[in-house]
């Protein structure tokens, strides 16, 4: 515990503070500001709910700054436990979400105060001091204006740019046309966008802090199962459907849950996309009813079974889909259409039992043709009775859904990729935006920091700004590639100059990065300097952020043009990703990045007539290789 002098010459004990947040950059920034105020002793820091409990028990701090979304336990779950092990600790909840209902819920659980991460750091200091104990605020140490360079104060335009970075994710979230929500791992809504508010017909203050299961009309078990598959099963995308009632109208929505994980792969919270699929379902039902009336088309296999399940009739569509002529199949049991494991388990007979019990039974699954090939079928079995009510058999209608299933799988993959991109973009924007905002506030307001603290603030600010700029550039380029709108402007380039400049750019963002460069001199080639620089930046950034030092980059002349090799001392790419590491959205986990950096490296190389590859040499050392021709045929923009 530290101390500060009083007017009477005595010594008063400073309030002790424990900072809990999953972002080390944010912890460092807040800790530096609290220490600089000379009002508090920052006795410990932690990155998850488990650490919060241990540190509260060990230090019995005066104050705890507790993040809302964390691994192990989220802030709302952790809060009562912290107070149980350290009853005298005053807990201030710390969150990146703007939601009055969330603050009210935190206070109900025992929080002393609620602070948003967008709060200026001076205001955060005042807030913490106001809850630290009795008595007036001690005088602050005199502060001198802190400048980035002589005469280089940020002007209003620079501040607006930084503010736009801070609000970027919130605007994307709130203006989306589909419903979106951020929830804790237990399903409590901490943020909901306008589309979701309109979809469920509840005001925003009524949604924040609400268990999403309340909206599912007694289908909360589906939500519980989905969250368990994420937290316990490690799944990255889980979807389910449920009804929603609004103004005497019941709609059906599809919910897609994606976890945002920490660096260890532990889920921090869940990101939900909610889409109204009522029209889609109604259209599907209407189409099914209509087509069942058209018995002559080849798209449907329509035939009768007797009460024991033997084929009693056969139409042209059945022969076309299943491959059996009528004289070969009539009289045989319909179990022949099912895979062997289903035949052995009695699945076909069970389907007939369900149809007899309920009147009709519907399912989708694999079926076997006469030639042994498989297809994905949608089958409807209806129990048939005569006028006297006696059971006469079953009508069976089967349709080949293989092509539709392939389209649905492709659509699901696209939705999964979209969900991943949104979730990771949100994760990538949240922390650097908060760090930049806090750092600018400290530098602008003139805090008296020591040299080490000032260096930490500047490094955090530069690193975060670089992360934001790279994300914006990569997203824009990926969009151009997808739309086939990426134009190249080639010119003669120096290999040594291109590699040296790329290394300098990475050093500017990662001052402590250990990078060695070996390059053949006097080597020239023709390419688009901007796009080649982007590819080199992505390769080096990938090695610095996800590999181990030192990083080595080499450039040499080849018979076809030039070759650039980037390697580091790490183990390389996971085996499961090695064959698709350059594919769009391929990633090692939800927090490993957007999955588009290496994809852009390969696309830029191929647009130049070259290629990118991942190789492992005879010694087991992995490398990323970029090959470009000396003079490709590139259409000018």
Q: What is the pLDDT of residues 504-520, one digit of tens each?
A: 888 877 778 899 999 99
Higher confidence at residue 11 or residue 144?
11
Give me the pLDDT at residue 144, please. 38
Average pLDDT, the chain: 79
SS (H, E, C) 534-580: HHHHHHHHHHHHHCCCCEEEEEEECCCEEEEEEECCCCCCCCCCHHH
Q: For residue 281, is pLDDT > 90?
A: no
The mean per-residue pLDDT over the stretch 44-54 comes to 89
Gap between the Cα atoms of 84 and 238, Å rounded: 35
Give me the pLDDT at residue 570, please. 87
Region of poorest pLDDT, from 144-158, 212-226, 246-260, 364-378: 144-158
Highest mean pLDDT among 12-21, 170-179, 376-385: 376-385
Q: For residue 353, is pLDDT > 90?
A: yes
Query: Closest Cα to residue 171, out of 194, 187, 202, 139?
Result: 194
Is the Cβ–Cβ distance between 574 and 581 less than 8 Å? no
Question: How do the residues of the chain divide into helix, strand and coil, expressed in percent and rounded to 5?
Answer: 45, 25, 30
Query: Closest Cα to residue 508, out of 566, 554, 466?
Result: 466
Is the Cβ–Cβ distance between 149 and 454 less than 8 Å? no
Gap between the Cα atoms of 168 and 426, Å rounded: 9
Q: For residue 193, is pLDDT > 90?
A: no
All structural domains of the chain, each given as residue ranges with its CATH number in brackets, are 3-130 (3.40.50.2300), 176-283 (3.30.450.20), 295-400 (3.30.450.20), 486-629 (3.30.565.10)
Is the Cβ–Cβ distance between 201 and 469 less than 8 Å? no
Question: In 3-state terms, what secondary structure has residue 88?
Answer: coil
Question: In 3-state terms, what secondary structure has residue 85?
Answer: helix
Segment (H or E) for 279: helix 278-293
Other Cβ atoms closer than 10 A to 379: 19
Give me the pLDDT at residue 148, please. 33
The mean per-residue pLDDT over the stretch 360-373 comes to 93
* Tokens 């969009």 -> residue: 479
Is the Cβ–Cβ distance between 610 and 561 less than 8 Å? yes
Gap between the Cα atoms of 33 and 140, Å rounded: 13
* Tokens 């660096």 -> residue: 263
The mean per-residue pLDDT over the stretch 317-331 comes to 90
Region of poorest pLDDT, from 201-205, 252-256, 286-290: 286-290
Query: Closest Cα to residue 487, out of 635, 606, 630?
Result: 635
Give me the pLDDT at residue 484, please. 54
Higher confidence at residue 63 or residue 635?
63
Q: Which two tokens stand for residue 35?
A: 């220490």
Length of the chain (residues) = 637
Q: For residue 203, is pLDDT > 70?
A: yes
Higher confidence at residue 99 or residue 266?
266
Query: Closest Cα to residue 393, out of 384, 401, 402?
Result: 384
Gap between the Cα atoms of 277 and 273, Å rounded: 12
Query: Closest Cα to residue 337, out of 360, 289, 303, 297?
Result: 303
Q: For residue 166, is pLDDT > 70?
A: no
Query: Closest Cα to residue 352, out of 399, 322, 400, 384?
Result: 384
Give me the pLDDT at residue 280, please. 79
Give me the pLDDT at residue 101, please. 67
Higher confidence at residue 541 or residue 480?
541
Indicate if the alpha-carbon torsion angle 407, 409, 412, 414 is positive or negative. negative
Region of poorest pLDDT, from 97-101, 239-243, 394-398, 470-474: 97-101
Angle at 470 between CA 465 and CA 476, to 5 degrees: 130
Gap between the Cα atoms of 510 and 560, Å rounded: 33
Q: For residue 289, is pLDDT > 70?
A: no
Gap between the Cα atoms of 115 and 93, Å rounded: 6
Indicate if the alpha-carbon torsion angle 236, 241, 243, 244 is positive or negative. positive
Query: Closest Cα to residue 44, out of 20, 68, 72?
Result: 20
The mean per-residue pLDDT over the stretch 330-346 comes to 94
What are the φ and ψ backbone dihedral angles of 43, each rounded to 5 degrees?
A: -90, -20
The mean per-residue pLDDT over the stretch 220-233 comes to 89
Q: For residue 7, is pLDDT > 60?
A: no
Give me the pLDDT at residue 187, please. 85
Q: For residue 420, is pLDDT > 50?
A: yes
Gap between the Cα atoms of 91 and 81, Å rounded: 11
Give me the pLDDT at residue 373, please. 93
Longest dimension (CA), the chain: 110
Gap between the Cα atoms of 460 and 390, Å rounded: 79
The mean per-residue pLDDT over the stretch 530-536 comes to 86
Indicate if the alpha-carbon torsion angle 159, 162, 164, 167 is positive or negative. negative
Give me the pLDDT at residue 12, please. 60
Query: Closest Cα to residue 176, out of 522, 416, 419, 11?
Result: 419
Gap between the Cα atoms of 599 and 579, Å rounded: 13
Query: Closest Cα to residue 187, out of 216, 210, 219?
Result: 210
Q: For residue 36, is pLDDT > 80?
A: yes
Highest mean pLDDT among 164-173, 342-351, 444-453: 342-351
Q: For residue 165, is pLDDT > 50?
A: no
The mean per-residue pLDDT over the stretch 72-86 comes to 84
The mean per-residue pLDDT over the stretch 527-534 comes to 86
Is the Cβ–Cβ distance between 457 and 465 less than 8 Å? no
Query: Closest Cα to residue 206, out of 120, 105, 111, 284?
Result: 105
Is the Cβ–Cβ distance between 542 and 596 less than 8 Å? no
Indicate if the alpha-carbon torsion angle 291, 296, 300, 303 is positive or negative. positive
Gap between the Cα atoms of 208 and 158, Å rounded: 33
Q: For residue 474, is pLDDT > 70?
A: no
Give me the pLDDT at residue 268, please. 72
136-161: buried (b, 16+ CB within 10 Å) or exposed (e) per residue? eebeeeeeeeeeeeeeeeeeeeeeee
Region of poorest pLDDT, from 159-168, 333-342, 357-366: 159-168
Higher confidence at residue 162 or residue 617?
617
Higher confidence at residue 387 or residue 173?
387
Give me the pLDDT at residue 523, please. 93
Region of poorest pLDDT, from 57-71, 533-547, 579-593, 599-613: 579-593
Is the Cβ–Cβ distance between 56 and 73 less than 8 Å? no
Question: In 3-state terms, what secondary structure has residue 40?
Answer: coil
Residues facing residue 391 across a β-bridge = 385
Q: Give the neighbor-by-neighbor strand order of the sheet with 622-629.
A: 515-519, 551-557, 561-567, 622-629, 611-616
Within 8 A by CB and 6+ apart from 490, the residues are 526, 527, 528, 608, 632, 634, 636
Q: With the CA atoms of 147, 150, 153 and 157 taken in that order, what torsion angle do they form, in degrees rounded to the nearest 10?
A: -130
Q: For residue 535, is pLDDT > 70?
A: yes
Where does the pLDDT of residue 426 fall: very low under 50, low under 70, confident under 90, or very high at 90 and above? low
Segment (H or E) for 180: strand 179-183
Gap between the Cα atoms of 273 and 58, Å rounded: 40
The mean per-residue pLDDT over the stretch 374-378 comes to 91
Other Cβ atoms closer than 10 A to 118: 17
Q: For residue 619, is pLDDT > 70?
A: yes
Give me the pLDDT at residue 383, please. 93
Where does the pLDDT of residue 471 fall: very low under 50, low under 70, confident under 90, or very high at 90 and above? low
Task: Return the percentage of the chain with pLDDT > 90, whole number.
Answer: 31
Higher confidence at residue 574 or residue 462?
574
């Amino acid at each position: 515990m530290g101390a500060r002098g009083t007017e009477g010459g005595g010594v008063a004990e400073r309030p002790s503070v424990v900072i809990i947040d999953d972002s080390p950059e944010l912890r460092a920034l807040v800790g530096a500001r609290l220490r600089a105020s000379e009002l508090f002793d920052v006795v410990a820091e932690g990155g998850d709910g488990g650490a919060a409990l241990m540190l509260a028990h060990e230090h019995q701090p005066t104050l705890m700054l507790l993040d809302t979304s964390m691994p192990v336990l989220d802030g709302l779950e952790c809060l009562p436990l912290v107070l149980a092990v350290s009853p005298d600790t005053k807990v201030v909840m710390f969150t990146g979400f703007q939601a009055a209902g969330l603050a009210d819920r935190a206070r109900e659980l025992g929080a002393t105060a609620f602070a948003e991460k967008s709060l200026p750091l001076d205001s955060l200091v005042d807030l913490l001091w106001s809850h630290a104990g009795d008595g007036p605020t001690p005088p602050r140490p005199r502060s001198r204006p802190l400048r980035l360079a002589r005469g280089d104060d940020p002007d209003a335009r620079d501040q607006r740019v930084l503010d736009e970075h801070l609000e970027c994710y919130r605007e994307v979230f709130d203006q989306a046309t589909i419903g979106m929500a951020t929830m804790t791992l237990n399903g409590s809504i901490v943020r909901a966008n306008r589309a979701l508010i309109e979809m469920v017909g509840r005001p925003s203050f009524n949604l924040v802090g609400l268990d999403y299961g309340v909206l599912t009309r007694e289908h909360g078990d589906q939500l519980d199962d989905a969250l368990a598959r994420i937290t316990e099963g490690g799944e990255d995308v889980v979807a389910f459907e449920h009804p929603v009632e609004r103004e005497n109208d019941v709609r059906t929505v599809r919910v897609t849950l994606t976890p945002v994980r920490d660096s260890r792969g532990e889920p921090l919270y869940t990101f939900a996309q909610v889409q109204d699929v009522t029209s889609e379902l109604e259209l599907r039902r209407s189409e099914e009813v209509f087509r069942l009336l058209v018995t002559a088309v080849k798209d449907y296999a329509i035939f009768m079974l007797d009460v024991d399940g033997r084929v009693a009739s056969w139409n042209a569509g059945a022969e076309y889909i299943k491959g059996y002529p009528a004289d070969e199949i009539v009289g045989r049991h319909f179990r022949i259409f099912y895979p062997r494991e289903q035949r052995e388990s009695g699945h076909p007979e069970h389907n007939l039992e369900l149809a007899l019990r309920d009147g009709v039974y519907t399912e989708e699954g694999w079926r076997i043709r006469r030639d042994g090939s498989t297809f994905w079928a949608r089958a409807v079995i209806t129990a048939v009775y005569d006028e006297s009510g006696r059971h006469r058999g079953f009508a069976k209608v089967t349709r080949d859904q293989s092509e539709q299933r392939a389209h649905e799988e492709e659509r699901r993959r696209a939705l999964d990729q979209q969900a991943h991109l949104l979730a990771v973009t949100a994760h990538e924007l949240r922390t650097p935006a908060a760090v930049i905002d806090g750092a600018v506030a400290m530098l602008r307001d003139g805090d008296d920091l020591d040299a080490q603290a000032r260096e930490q603030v500047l490094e955090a600010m530069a690193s975060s700004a670089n992360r934001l700029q790279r994300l914006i550039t990569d997203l824009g380029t990926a969009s151009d590639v997808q739309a086939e709108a990426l134009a190249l402007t080639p010119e003669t380039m120096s290999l040594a100059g291109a590699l040296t400049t790329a290394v300098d750019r990475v050093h500017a963002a990662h001052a402590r990065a250990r990078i060695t460069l070996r390059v053949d001199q006097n080597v020239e080639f023709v390419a688009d300097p901007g796009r080649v620089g982007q590819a080199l930046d992505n390769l080096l950034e990938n090695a610095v952020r996800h590999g181990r030092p030192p990083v080595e980059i080499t450039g040499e002349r080849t018979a076809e043009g030039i070759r650039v090799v980037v390697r580091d001392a790490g183990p390389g790419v996971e085996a499961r990703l090695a064959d698709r590491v350059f594919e769009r959205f391929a990633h090692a986990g939800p927090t490993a990045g957007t999955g588009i950096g290496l994809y852009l490296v390969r696309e830029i190389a191929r647009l130049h007539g070259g290629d990118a590859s991942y190789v492992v040499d005879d010694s087991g050392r992995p490398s990323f290789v970029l090959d470009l021709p000396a003079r490709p045929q590139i259409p000018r923009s």
